[in-house]
Structure 1
């Protein structure tokens, strides 16, 4: 089994994701090869909560330019995790 901390890279905190927190939905950047069941198990192991639903989406690479050089950003995967009603909120999101 993969290490759960390798699957979950970082939380994504924006205005929109802050609104999700009222409904116990949290957004994470995850490994691009991770599937929904692996993400669910990793969140449950790391934070000791119960996950009811996981939505994933691939964020496409965008063209970027630095001076005369053209290139693309990397493609990455985003996961929106819904916690159960009886689960506690995640502690690092409480200060936001």
Structure 2
């Protein structure tokens, strides 16, 4: 991967009902760069959010869906999600605090 910084790895948090339920177990869901690996995601979370320690990272690739506009058939973009589990003594991530 060509010169990707830690702030380029995490694109945005995923806010769904399932991801909100996982927050009780100190698991946070993010959309990440498609070429990012687990060690890069771990380093990015620990650098972006002070006081957090990552225990485990699970990733999943999501393929694009087929969409139609009249007679033209196309696909949406591929994405990659990461579910980051923090250690028990780690500080919570503050962007999710008011949700």
Q: Answer whether TM exceeds 0.5 for this pair.
A: yes
Q: Which of the five TM-score ranges fits, normalised by the shorter chain?
A: over 0.9
TM (norm. structure 2) is 0.92
Count of residue pairs brought into register by the alignment: 96
In the TM superposition, residue 37 of structure 1 has moved relative to its aligned partner by 0.4
What's the CA shift string for 1:44-75, capped at 9, x where partnerless? 00002100000001001110122332110111
User: 5+ unaligned residues in a row in structure 2: which ranges?
Assistant: none
Which structure 2 residues correspond to residues 1-96 of structure 1 after superposition, within 5 A? 2-48=4-50, 49-96=52-99
In the TM superposition, residue 94 of structure 1 has moved relative to its aligned partner by 1.1
Over the aligned positions, Cα root-mean-square deviation in angstroms equals 1.1
Moved over 2 A (4+): 66-69
TM (norm. structure 1) is 0.94
